[in-house]
Structure 1
Amino acid sequence: MSSSDKEFRDQLGKFRLENNYASWPPQPQESEVSNPRSKRVSTACDFCRKRKKKCDFRYPNCTACTRAGVRCTIPPPGPQVASASVPRDQLENLQKRVRWLEEVVKRKSGLSVAELPTGTPVEGEGDPDWWYRLPAMVATGGNTSAASVPSPAGSGSSVTAGPSEASTGVGTELPNVGEIFRDQLEHRRPSVARPSSAPRVMRLASLEEAERLAGQYFESMGYQYPFISRPEFIRQLRHIYSGGVPSPEIHNLYHIVIAISLLIGSADPEQAADFYNASQETLPLALQNEDLPAVRALLGLALYTMFATAGPSIWHVLGATMRLATSIGLHKRRSYSSVAEEEMAKRAFWSLYNLDRLIASTLGRPLGIADEDISVGLLRELNDDATEMPGASGMTIPLQVIRLRRIFSRIYQYLYSSLPRLSSQEAATALSQFRREVDDWRMNAPVYPSALLYSTSYYDYLYYTTFLLMYRPSPRNPTPDITSIISCGDSSIQVIRSYWDSYSVGKLKWIWLTLSQLYFAGITILWCLEQNARALRESQPAPWHPEEQTMRRGIQAVIVLLEEFGKRRPGMERLAETFRHQSTTIFSQMAYQQQLDQQSQRSHQPLPPPPPPTCSRTTASLHVFGCTYSPGSTCSGS
């Protein structure tokens, strides 16, 4: 029995609620203070009052009520209250709940309302002078309640910096005033509970079909961007197909995941659009709070725009997502209530990080966040059952991708900036160091047994696209050396080959990023061939010596894939035609140069001008990496 409970029981029969019962506890009246012998008001229970017997006020039942076997109740506090009597213990339960709610308000908002009369306005800061305590915070190391900040996971709890992050006093570290004032500075919207259900749930023909599409998503995009918990998603999926109505954030994720999966499988685009439109109905509710569910909703929208021909700009979506993620502190090392909560926050941030690096480098735009500003740790290799298995977990692939993206980021920031141009020696040294790091990454990157083919082919693709970023002409290294030309050409062929391998087994994802990388690899091959032709015109040896048949197959593969893109995205036919003309012109120049070299060795007679290029589209069939392709057909090999 606590002392507060005993005190309350002792006073239960001594207090009286006035008509203005909002102010509690009641203050003694002036007459009571001056006359301590004033008559005490009795609060005998209803049973004793009816029998006109003295009540001993025992709690929760008096002795008379206990003997009679009836519930001990007391009369209402005033005529303005409902006439029904209330159990004696209900008052104590209500008082406990009031105290608990006051503590919740204080912990969540920093407002102390226990001493405020009911009805007192508490909007704003509560205590308008609380920020004057900042000098004291500096002097004491910042360990005050005002320095706590909302949980980055959006759970509503507050997180205080640990020993390694706390301020240690004047002269060492100042408190983060920006975080202390963040709600006032940013005019942040208060978090409001989302509705418990959302309207218009679209369902597929069966739960089995829905689980198949969900598995298709998690076995492709889920390996790259694991911001959705697969077990939790499947649990919610079964709830939906058992007749349940999901909450807005679950409603949004369910529909956008199914829409993405339908596009991955090249299904009916109208069905995918229907699921996307359904997800948009609850997007405002999913984004109403600045929390982790809002980050997930934006990441799902960004992935959809990578596949769909319509929708918002992925650059704008990722920009908003990065702002939100940094606002709630996902990029920082924080304390969490559980390992699961911490890992899901990490997965959301690193998924955003990977997308940001990919889109920024593809579009030639600045990175959304500098690596120097990131202090959150890397992912743990946890399976769906929360067991940690390094090198053999579903998180093995995204963890290795993150490690490469961090090297990728340093390459991008070093070579693609407005800093002065590098000298030949500086560029060679930097590229050599980056090459060692990328090679070490590829040699040490483990594969995930459940996705062996996927992980190895994906690693190879990332490996060679990183080389293209390194060795192609850049603002700080505009005139690559022979090593760079060779690496560009060889890497381009490997990038095209990896895409062709995916296409030939029906696993190519028809997204605009694929188009960009594929077209760029093809253009890079033509650039390398042009460097060869330039060197020969200057009586210099050609720098790049590819295996000619492999190189020609790479060019033909680009033509085939661009034509296939043209069936899915309007305007690609013209791009394919332009590339075909460029490649034909290069090959014609190469043939003429070879003829020139052969005849110059036999005689010094002048040669006729080179013949006009002929379009390779007239060829009856193209032999591409072991496949035979005829215009208007699909690959007949494997």
Structure 2
Amino acid sequence: MNYTRKRALLACDFCRHRKRKCDGARPRCSTCEESNADCVYKELPADRVESCSPSAVVERLTRIETLLEEQSQRLDDLVRGGGQEGFGLSSPPGTRSSILPLEVSHSPQIAGASPASAPNRSQENLLDRHLEQATFLIPYDHSTSANSLLAWPRVKALIGNYPEDYFFTLEQSLPLPPGLELPNDNPEGSQLPAINPSNPNVLESLTRNYFAVVHPNFPLFTYQEFRQWQAYLYEHGPEDTPETAICLCVYALGCLVSPREGHLDVSVQAENDDLALQFFQPALTIILRHTVWGFRPRMEICQALILASSYFAHLGRPLHSWKMAVYASEKFITLHDRLKRAGFNTDQNDNYMRVFWSCFMIECDRAAELDVPRSGIEPQADKMPLPRTMNVTENDNIIYFVAETAIRRLLNRIHCSLYSKEHTDINALAGDPAMLTNISLSKLLSLSAELNRQLEEWYHSIPGKIRPPIGTEPVANDRGKVLRIRYYAARHIIHRPFVLYVVLQQPTTPTGHPTPVGSPQPLVPLPRVVREKCQVCIDSCQTYLYNVVEMLDKRSPYLWTFSQSCMACLLVLLLSKSSPLLSSITPELQPLTAMVLPRLRRWATPGSSFEAEVKILESLTRSLSGGA
């Protein structure tokens, strides 16, 4: 008789504290019976036992539904209540991570808060690895990135061979931007622009730029807090402190961006970049000194590191941005751990939550495209509340931030569920279509339907006054544009496996083109439901491109990420166009590549990912037009 062996769902408190095996008997387990001890179980849903069937991941995704429902209510409460009440995005009961061990006490604490018991907790956690994996982390081996699509034979035939870590290698080999290679070791002696409180017009203009354009993406602190730091800087001048570094980073970021719509002239942008460097160079010196040699972590150094990460992201430097974010995450984890052990409840401190979720967002965006090490911040997301508004002027900023955090977490689930080798990674079959029988179409349909349902639920959870319309209708601000871009990015990768599935159905010649009519392997009829899913993917790619090009006209923390996603969309459309089964429902690629290429050329400095993307898309354009 076939059956699934089930362990005790959850050990009782007595067994967990003593690291003993618990048989889960009710009302008393055998260990408590023998010891004449009180047998108390934590309350968890009765369906927490994970199935070994192909639908296990779908069941796990379904349990996440309560998380999205709560997020919808939290956002609604926030927009109606003006932020008077704090709110948090909690996990479904019993949601736990398979990466970090948990406390065994009744009161939830951050993982690792009690080092003495960590080894035992880790051992217990390893035993429950499958049972406990309800947190969806971006897997190291996922194949969602644009780089993974370059491995497909039909893509290779058109644009050539590229190594699987091509973009990581490019970015890794890039030096720091000129002027930052050897920062001055004496920040007080660095060449600073005049900071004159009697003539603060320039600095005030840069501050306005920052809070209008940069701050909404990562609302790390309030305007009032910054004013206090700035007043001290005006009075005492630059000092070797994180607060000085924060002010200088704010001015640097204010140089890089413009509140005006459209792109700046290239020469104007270059002048602004040069001025930004004058502020950022001494700021980076201060930040690195406190990061490397500061043994007492402070929230202000975490904030300064995130600002430095944002600076590099605005320059289109993903690895430098990631490095700063990892430093911030490590400092935050250390600080959070110390304060927890000292009895402080950091969950009630809004700045802590703003820093945590900013680190989470930056690290996840990098891990989604590059195979980078992780700091350990991602698995803690289920235990951290979301930030709340400090005053009514920041209400919309926090709502946008909360909404983007939620879609980032959904994107993580998509990476884990559809693009991990552990689950349904159809991309791994690109070089061996004969293995297509290993893919369960019914499983793909179930997973995509559940993920798409969660995506739509997320979209409708955004308060109506700031919810961006579906499609390409103009959106009033960049935050709304980013949410809509994230929506179509998620919709695309939820349905991409169906396009890849269909592409694998059609054999190819050594040149990468479909085999001629009369091939011994005829086309497999395409089920209507699969065709519909492919249509959703194709439409999502096209709409994504129409929405994102405007964001590629200017510097933003999304510059590099959006450029990679553009290339991924175009490569998926290329694969779709090359399939006889999908060609008729795929738009022409030449107008789309012509729309994207000028934007990428603007940032294509020698040796950069942007330059490589331009070359790849130019090769694609030549191939489509019949050139060499």
* TM-score calculated relative to the size of structure 2: 0.54
Q: 2:585 aligns with which of 538, 542, 545?
A: 545
Asked if 1:257 corresponds to 2:271, the answer is: no
- Report deviation, 1:573: 5.1
Equivalent in the alignment of 2:594? 556
Asked if 1:585 corresponds to 2:609, the answer is: no
Equivalent in the alignment of 2:320? 313
Classify the secondary structure of the residue corresponding to 2:582.
Answer: coil
The code of the aligned residue for 1:430 comes to L
Distance in 1 separating the partners of 2:352 and 2:337: 7
Equivalent in the alignment of 2:3? none
Equivalent in the alignment of 1:72? none
Asked if 1:495 corresponds to 2:502, the answer is: no
Q: 2:299 aligns with which of 283, 292, 295?
A: 292
Distance in 2 separating the partners of 1:300 and 1:424: 45
Aligned-pair RMSD on alpha carbons? 4.6
Equivalent in the alignment of 1:232? 225
What is the 5 A alignment of 1:189-268? 200=190, 202-203=193-194, 206-242=199-235, 244-246=237-239, 248-265=241-258, 266-268=269-271
Distance in 1 separating the partners of 2:403 and 2:486: 10
Per-residue CA distance 1:211-235 (angstroms, 9 max, x = gap)? 2222222333322212233321133
Instruction: From the superposition, tell whether residues 364 and 442 of structure 1 become closer, same or farther in structure 2 (CA, over 3 Å).
Output: farther
Distance in 2 separating the partners of 1:365 and 1:239: 38
Equivalent in the alignment of 2:333? 326
Higher Rg: 1
Classify the secondary structure of the residue corresponding to 2:220.
Answer: coil
Instruction: From the superposition, tell whether residues 518 and 213 of structure 1 become closer, same or farther in structure 2 (CA, over 3 Å).
Output: farther
Going by fraction, where is helix more abundant, 1 or 2? 2
Aligned residues: 403
Equivalent in the alignment of 1:281? 285
Equivalent in the alignment of 2:457? 440
Instruction: From the superposition, tell whether residues 285 and 277 of structure 1 become closer, same or farther in structure 2 (CA, over 3 Å).
Output: same
Q: 1:411 aligns with which of 402, 411, 414?
A: 414
- Report deviation, 1:543: 5.9
Classify the secondary structure of the residue corresponding to 1:214.
Answer: helix
Q: 1:302 aligns with which of 309, 319, 330?
A: 309
Distance in 2 separating the partners of 1:479 and 1:364: 26
The code of the aligned residue for 1:417 comes to S
The code of the aligned residue for 1:324 comes to K
Distance in 2 separating the partners of 1:208 and 1:340: 38
Q: 2:478 aligns with which of 454, 465, 477?
A: 454
What is the 5 A alignment of 1:460-475? 460-473=484-497
Is the 1:347–1:379 contact (alpha carbons within 8 Å) kept by the matching residues of 2?
yes
Distance in 2 separating the partners of 1:561 and 1:256: 26
Equivalent in the alignment of 1:424? 441
Equivalent in the alignment of 2:381? 374
Distance in 2 separating the partners of 1:367 and 1:337: 26
Structure 2 unmatched ranges of 5 or more: 1-16, 19-101, 119-186, 259-268, 425-438, 468-474, 505-529
- Report deviation, 1:379: 2.5
Q: 1:511 aligns with which of 559, 562, 565?
A: 559
Classify the secondary structure of the residue corresponding to 2:477.
Answer: helix
Equivalent in the alignment of 2:72? none
Is the 2:246–2:307 contact (alpha carbons within 8 Å) kept by the matching residues of 1?
yes
Equivalent in the alignment of 1:270? 274
Per-residue CA distance 1:424-478 (angstroms, 9 max, x = gap)? 1111101111001111211221267699432321211110111233233499989
Classify the secondary structure of the residue corresponding to 1:224.
Answer: coil
What is the 5 A alignment of 1:601-620? 612-613=626-627
Classify the secondary structure of the residue corresponding to 2:603.
Answer: helix
Instruction: From the superposition, tell whether residues 441 and 283 of structure 1 become closer, same or farther in structure 2 (CA, over 3 Å).
Output: same
Equivalent in the alignment of 1:179? 114
Distance in 1 separating the partners of 2:568 and 2:329: 27
Instruction: From the superposition, tell whether residues 299 and 447 of structure 1 become closer, same or farther in structure 2 (CA, over 3 Å).
Output: farther
Is the 2:326–2:359 contact (alpha carbons within 8 Å) kept by the matching residues of 1?
no
- Report deviation, 1:331: 12
Structure 1 unmatched ranges of 5 or more: 1-133, 136-164, 184-196, 536-540, 589-611, 615-638
Instruction: From the superposition, tell whether residues 545 and 294 of structure 1 become closer, same or farther in structure 2 (CA, over 3 Å).
Output: same
- Report deviation, 1:529: 1.3
* TM-score calculated relative to the size of structure 1: 0.54
Classify the secondary structure of the residue corresponding to 1:225.
Answer: coil
Instruction: From the superposition, tell whether residues 579 and 434 of structure 1 become closer, same or farther in structure 2 (CA, over 3 Å).
Output: same
Q: 1:398 aligns with which of 389, 397, 401?
A: 401
What is the 5 A alignment of 1:112-191? 179=114
Classify the secondary structure of the residue corresponding to 1:489.
Answer: helix
